[in-house]
Structure 1
Amino acid sequence: MNETIQLPLLRERFFRRERRSVPAARVFAAGTLADWGLAGTERADDVLLCVSELVTNAVVHGVPPGRQLRLLLRFDGRTVVVEVHDSGSGVPHVVHDGDEGGRGLLLVAALSDTWGVRERALGKAVWCEFERLAQEV
């Protein structure tokens, strides 16, 4: 029996404000990529590294005590979008030359095709996109 996959695919999970949420988010993202048949693609490791960086930033800087962050992964057959939502204030930015912190976003900017920050009613969503992630057949 042939199974039809409906696109876009969407997965989300909430994580607590604690450091062990970072590896848990990476495991969740790796499992999601595997389920979508993308685990062996050239850029899968880039996606996982960016998940780690964005979740780390949310845990350290973005999630107020007692709140959670939301990791959302979306795939439309060509592009994977990673979004990390938190309820903290402030706008993350890439840090250059000698400043402390902010280097994680430098990695996100270098590895993803595009990234940004979107305001929400409470907090923000930091996102990045990876185009052409599906394996060529």
Structure 2
Amino acid sequence: MSLSRQQRFPRARASVRAARQFVGDTLGEWGVSERRDDIRLCVSELATNAVLHGVPLGREFSVRLEWEGGIVTIEVRDSGPGRPVVKQPDLGARSGRGLWLVDELADEFRIRDERVGKTVWAGS
């Protein structure tokens, strides 16, 4: 059985918390508890990147969650230009760890170019 749910969020800092809540609530409804905190952290980091770097003014980003065969996948899609890059974290820096964290926590991590924008995908 495959379950999926998607929601759109505006380009606003409050959307990061809303995306994390959406994922947490959905996982709860589906009865998924394994690695729930890791999954919520991943969506939080991906949503933060979308808000700060990916979503053009006046646009939205989407979060899609899928659960199939015991595997949870997250997709965060925005319509902005550019391709995110995973960097080794600078321990003294206040930012720049998001994609590195997602890459470390997720079993799989991909960035897919779209006709407009990109999708960042993580599976656990």
User: Normalising TM by the smaller chain, what interval?
Assistant: over 0.9
The residue type paired with residue 47 of structure 1 is: I
The aligned length equals 122
Give runs of ≥4 in structure 1 deviating > 2 Å: 97-102
What does 1:12-31 align with in structure 2 at a 5 Å threshold?
12-31=6-25
Are 1:68 and 2:60 an aligned pair?
A: yes
Structure 2 segments unaligned to the other structure (5+ residues): none
Point out the structure with the larger helix share.
Answer: 2
Whose strand proportion is higher, 1 or 2?
Answer: 2
In 2, the alpha carbon distance for the partners of 1:14 and 1:27 equals 13
Identity %, equivalent residues: 48
Aligned to 1:108: 102
How far has the Cα of 1:31 moved from its partner?
A: 0.6
TM-score scaled by structure 1?
A: 0.85
Normalised by the length of structure 2, the TM-score is 0.93
Max Rg structure: 1
Structure 1 vs Structure 2 CA RMSD: 1.4
Aligned twin of 2:50: 58
Asked whether the equivalents of residues 19 and 63 of structure 2 are also in contact (C-alpha less than 8 Å), the reply is yes
- Give the alignment partner of residue 28 of structure 2, picking from 7, 31, 34: 34
- The amino acid across from 1:12 in the alignment is Q
Within 2, Cα distance between the matches of 1:10 and 1:93? 27
Residues 77 and 97 (structure 1 numbering): CA distance in 2 closer, same or farther, change over 3 Å? closer
